[in-house]
Amino acid sequence: MSEDKNFSTARLQLPLARSAIDRAGHLRTDSAKMAELWSVARILHFSSGKFRTHESALEFLGTEQVDGLVASGAFDFGDRFFLGLDGSQPYFAWCGDSPDIEQFPNYLTLRELGAMLSDLENGLAVHAQALANWHHKHQRCPQCGGQTVSASGGSVRKCLVDETEHYPRNDPAIIVLIKDDQDRILLGRQKVWPENRFSTFAGFVEPGESFEQCVIREVQEEAGVLASDIHYLGSQPWPFPASLMIAFQAITDNPEDARPDGEEIEEIRWYSRDGMREAIDQNQLLLPPTISVARKMIEAWYGPDHIRDLKGGQAWR
Ligand SMILES: [Zn+2]
């Protein structure tokens, strides 16, 4: 396929893929080193799905502040996860939960914080949230049902009964921008979404399936068209709770066959750039949120000069 203006396959700059930290994984198995680094760490507090902030920025705590919060009884003891080094400065996450997190207005979700974070903060936050989500759901050994405990700085859980080790999961999901030969894009609407929300097509990779096979299957299932000329555009972690989004662009030669599956997708529409701007102006199209891959794919197609036209979607889920 030609690399002309209408078929850019340039890599996307994805908001949650930003990072600026050395994960220093070789240090994780050294428990004495972990304890030493914890004592001088800058510590993110991730609690019951939210991050501690101060004046709308992530707040980093010292170990004495963490001890104080545990002693206050407002938060449980929680786990500590080693996130890495910035130069010589160690970073950890502390995951003491609270049953009353809603009463603390300075705790915000990653969806709320996303675009405001620096590269360093973003890399720390997505790592912390993905790890915390995984630990939360893997308290029991999948092999024997025994109790598991966090080990190696939070990068592993070990079974106390059979001593097997278990590693964090990522669930790969493809997301694809479908275009036709007129350079229009196809968006779909899920039944469960807010009114007028349309987005690109996406789905989890099934066992034994390649990314490309998944793209073809999902697009066929949800929109009834055949995808070809599949190009990789980038990836970003999506820890809601454990996805890794792998982004593609593809062409269909049978745009007139597009139809919603009627189950997951209730409506689909082809958009030209003019049509999209008009639909947004008339409040008939609400785009996905700015931290999403879908939004960045739509903006990249629409063109960098006019993306301010594409408002909407900041508060979605
Ligand atoms: Zn076990």
Number of alpha carbons in the 13 Å side-chain half-sphere of residue 119: 8
Residue 150 CA to ligand 1 center (angstroms) comes to 13
Please give the Cα distance from 178 to 184 (Å, whole number).
8
- Tell how far the Cα of 34 is from the centroid of ligand 1, in angstroms: 25
pLDDT at residue 2, as a whole number: 42
What is the 126 CA–ligand 1 centroid distance (Å)?
28
- The tokens describing 292, both together, are 């999403």
The predicted pLDDT at position 311 comes to 64
pLDDT digits (tens, 9 = 90+) for 243-280: 999 999 999 999 999 999 999 999 999 999 999 999 99
pLDDT at position 10, please?
A: 85
Cα of 151 vs centre of ligand 1, distance in Å, is 14
Q: Is the pTM of this model over 0.85?
A: yes
Residue with tokens 């007129």: 182
CA 149 / ligand 1 centre spacing (Å): 11
Structure tokens, 218: 């999902």
Q: How far is the CA of 125 from the centre of ligand 1 (A)?
A: 30
- Ligand 1 centre to CA of 138 (Å) is 11
**164 CA to centre of ligand 1 in angstroms:** 6
Mean pLDDT of successive 10-residue segments in the chain (317 residues)? 56 94 98 98 97 93 97 95 98 96 95 91 97 97 98 98 97 98 97 94 98 98 97 97 98 96 94 94 92 95 74 47
Residue 156 CA to ligand 1 centre (angstroms):
13
Q: How far is the CA of 158 from the centre of ligand 1 (A)?
A: 8
- List the beta bridge partners of residue 58: 53
| C-alpha to C-alpha distance for 224 and 141, rounded to whole angstroms | 41
Q: Rounded to an integer, what distance in angstroms lies between the CA atom of residue 122 and that of residue 116? A: 9
Q: 170-309: which CATH architecture?
A: Alpha-Beta Complex (3.90)
Q: Which two tokens stand for residue 256?
A: 């007139």
Q: Is the peptide bond before 241 cis (omega within 30 degrees of 0)?
A: yes
Cβ-proximal residues to 35 (8 Å cutoff; 6+ apart), any chain: none
Residue reference for tokens 């859980």: 157
> In this predicted structure, what is the pLDDT of residue 7?
60
> Ligand 1 centroid vs 153 CA: distance in angstroms?
20
Q: How many Å lie between the centroid of ligand 1 and the Cα of residue 133?
A: 20
Q: How many CB atoms lie within 10 A of CB 54?
A: 9
Residues near 202 by beta carbon (within 8 Å), at least 6 away in sequence: 173, 174, 175, 176, 218, 245, 294
CA of 170 relative to ligand 1 center, distance in Å: 21
In this structure, what token pair is assigned to residue 75?
Answer: 């938060």
**What is the Å distance from ligand 1's center to 105 Cα?**
39
The rounded Å distance from CA 115 to ligand 1 centre is 40
Cα 200 to Cα 19: distance, rounded to the nearest angstrom: 25
Domain spans in the chain, listed from the N-terminal domain onward: 17-137, 170-309
